[in-house]
A and B are shown apart, each in its own frame.
Chain A
Amino acid sequence: MVEDDELKAWFFREVFPLEAALTRFIRRNWRNESDVADLRQDIYTKVYTAAQQQLPLQARAFLFTTARNHLINTAKRAKIVSFDLVADLEASFPEAMSADLDRQLTARDELRRVQAGLERLPSRCRQVMTLRRVEGLSTKEVAAHLNISVSTVEQQMVHGLRALTDYMMGGQGRIRRSPPKTSVAKSESRS
């Protein structure tokens, strides 16, 4: 059993940096764009569970094999499997496995990207994120400084962090607001 600390370090070092490539791979092989983020999360969960037994030596190969299998299984379950899909998957697989596809970001690139991601946020959200993460203020201090409530700061942090994560991982960095809590049925694509 691999300890969580070790697993987490492995995800940070080997898996998350591949997210842009993984997302492209899923998008190319799945019709329904709105399933992409869910599929990706399913794949992470499966990778986590498998890696708990033993850390894979080849993270990239392991991640994309898991991704391919998951797409095929999900398609089968949804009864949308076609020869096209499997053929496409096989065709795009070697390409996804090639490391040249995603340029590793240098620390400087990464900083620029964080900055660019912050600049895309709505102004209040950006202000909160900047005070919190750049200036190092606490939630209470940010609330006092901007004269807004603590829960507003917390809400903006949730939106901001999610949007920034999306952007940093190769997405558009748009804010997605969750609708008010209702019982949410799991989408078809989930296992």
Chain B
Amino acid sequence: MSARNEIEDTAAYWLSRRADGLSSEEQARLDAWLDASAEHKTVFWRLEFVWEKTGRLVALRGPDSLTEVIMEAPPPATPRRVLTHWVAGLAAALAVVVLSSTALLWPQPAQYATDTGERRLVALSDGSRVELNTETRLRAAMSPDSREAWLDKGEAYFDVAHDASRPFTVHMGDRTVRVLGTRFSVRRDGDKVQVLVAEGRVRLSGSKVDPASRPVVLVRGDVATGLGASVLQSRTSDQRVDDQLAWRRGLLVFDQITLADAAVEFNRYNQTQLKVLDSQTAAIRIGGSFEAANVEAFVRLLQSAYGLEIDRDGEIVKISE
């Protein structure tokens, strides 16, 4: 019996625990354990190497497996999608008739929207709460047997009330996120979609037009970015999750991102638009946390700390070296 056996046990235990999500105190303990020796780290990585491979087994999951049963609601009696497409193809007069009948079957979704720089908290009738970030449009329809929301644009943080009999679905273009009860944020920018899981588990289904795309299950700390037919999945630390959700407190937290990216972020929240003139300036790295609405403070910082040239033209602020 060697010390290695004990180390492997400890590493395997932590790996399994981490997949459920660690508190920041637990994460600190794991980090301390990993940093304690090169042996801990390599043992942990070796198990993680295989752990990640087992995750790919999801691809083999059959259609009647347990998760499907838990997560998929029974299909609606009349497929809404077919109906919607049908409506689009019909003459206006006919459409009116059909629309009124669909309106009877499905309550009109409630609409929620925010302006530039605005944040809004929405309480849905099922007990779920949604926080809308700047320039966001969301529709939601709660019925006795389904919970659905459509993110037309922008960014929203969902705190979904648990209800095993009524999965909560968020549609973003042809992608959908389906959950029972959990916390996550979604961001949509045209057909680019990003999902970040803060707690629990969500399932992201690919675009319907591509039958080969398989749903992915995301857990706490997972970030999935979908663009076109592809989905990029990555993991992030608890700290990064907090940073990415800092907008809920009106903050932008940058971890050494380029000034070009920082400008894009600020521009989402303000009428004043930052414009970086040259590529050298655009590549400057920015770190720190900033008030999203206080673009003036950010501009002053660029001027004083980075020595950049600021040139104002109405609502446009031009930045150069």
Are B41 and A4 interface neighbours, CB within 8 A? yes
Interface size grouping (class) on chain B: 35 or more
Comparing A81-89, A92-100, A157-165, the segment that makes contact with chain B is A157-165
Q: Please indicate the chain A residues that have their CB under 8 angstroms from the CB of B41 in the complex.
A: 4, 48
User: CB < 8 Å: which of B9, B43, B60, B217 contacts A158?
Assistant: B9
- Dominant SS among interface residues on chain A: helix
The segment from A25-33, A37-45, A53-61, A65-73 found at the interface with B is A37-45
In the complex, whether B66 has a CB less than 8 A from a CB of chain A is yes
The answer for the CA separation of A129 and B16 in the assembled complex, in Å, is: 10
User: B47-55, B94-102, B260-268, B279-287: which one contacts chain A?
Assistant: B47-55
Using a CB–CB distance below 8 Å, which chain B residues touch chain A?
1-6, 8-9, 12-13, 15-17, 19-20, 37-39, 41-43, 45-47, 49-51, 53-61, 65-67, 201, 217, 219
**Contact A11 to B45, CB < 8 A, known contacts A169-B50, A176-B5:** yes
A133 at the interface (CB under 8 A from B): yes
The 10 sampled A-B contact pairs (Cβ below 8 Å) are: A8-B45, A11-B42, A11-B46, A41-B4, A132-B16, A134-B60, A164-B54, A165-B46, A184-B1, A190-B3
**Nearest Cβ in chain A — how far from B303, in angstroms?**
32
- List the A residue with the shortest CB-CB distance to B42: A44
Separation of A186 and B3 alpha carbons in the complex (Å)? 6
Known: A38-B2, A136-B58, A184-B6. A12 touches B219 (CB 8 A): no
Number of interface residues of A (CB under 8 A): 51
A114–B38 contact, CB under 8 A? no
Interchain nearest-CB distance for B137 vs A (Å): 31
Q: Given A38-B4, A135-B66, A190-B2, A161 and B39 touching (CB < 8 A)?
A: no
Are the C-beta atoms of B13 and A16 separated by less than 8 Å? no
Residues of chain A within 8 A of B201, CB atoms compared: 136, 138
Residues of A near B16 (CB, < 8 A) are: 132, 139, 154, 157-158, 161
Among A19, A131, A162: residue with most chain B CB under 10 A: A162
Contact present for A162 and B12 (CB under 8 Å): yes
- Check: A187 CB closer than 8 A to any chain B CB: yes
